[in-house]
Amino acid sequence: MSGSDKLRVLLVEDNPGDVLLITELLSDRKTELEIDVASDGEEALNYLYGRGRYQQAVAPQLVVLDLNLPRVSGLDVLAVLRKDPRMSPLPVVVLSSSDAERDIVESYCRGANTYIQKPVDLRQFQEAVAKIESFWLSLAKLPSLQKPAPKEEKLDD
């Protein structure tokens, strides 16, 4: 982390309810967070690669990724990031409502740093978000990535 720069988190989440919930819960604790939101996988990749309207976007230190996303799924986003040496150090926390074994296994296979199931219970949700925050945003040292030059990324391999 460099100096007084705010920690930047990219939240990839299509459900506005969850976006609000997560941002509210996160901002409960910290004011030093910049939370950007992408509402589907494609938008997330555009953001990360500075494409289209995200040309000015700054590279985040952490991605919180939902799996069940329109257009490009969370797992596919993971795959793209991990195949790109420039992106592969970026920590990704999967935050999904799925508890299906195959989702969990597949996420880790594709390089997720952690997999957290969205708790149904609000208190547990708060706790989960707090723990993500305290671990990833306080305790863990995160890499600072240079935003790569805009170019098309292939999704199909």
- Binding residues for another protein, rule: CB under 8 A, are 15, 17-18, 21, 24, 97, 118, 120-123, 125
Question: Pairing relation of β-strands 92-96 and 62-65?
Answer: parallel
Task: Please identify, using beta-carbon distances, which residue of 22 and 87 lies nearer to another protein.
Answer: 22
Task: Please identify, using beta-carbon distances, which residue of 54 and 125 lies nearer to another protein.
Answer: 125
CB of 102 to another protein, least distance (A): 11
CB of 12 to another protein, least distance (A): 17
Task: Please identify, using beta-carbon distances, which residue of 110 and 118 lies nearer to another protein.
Answer: 118
Task: Please identify, using beta-carbon distances, which residue of 23 and 113 lies nearer to another protein.
Answer: 23
* Helices (H), ranges, 12-150: 16-29, 41-48, 74-83, 101-109, 122-132
Query: What residues are paired with 95 via a beta bridge?
Result: 116
**Residue 137 tokens, joined:** 């945003």
**Residue 77 tokens, joined:** 């986003």
Cβ pair 38, 11 in contact under 8 A? yes
CB of 103 to another protein, least distance (A): 12
CB of 68 to another protein, least distance (A): 9
**Residue 92 tokens, joined:** 């990704």
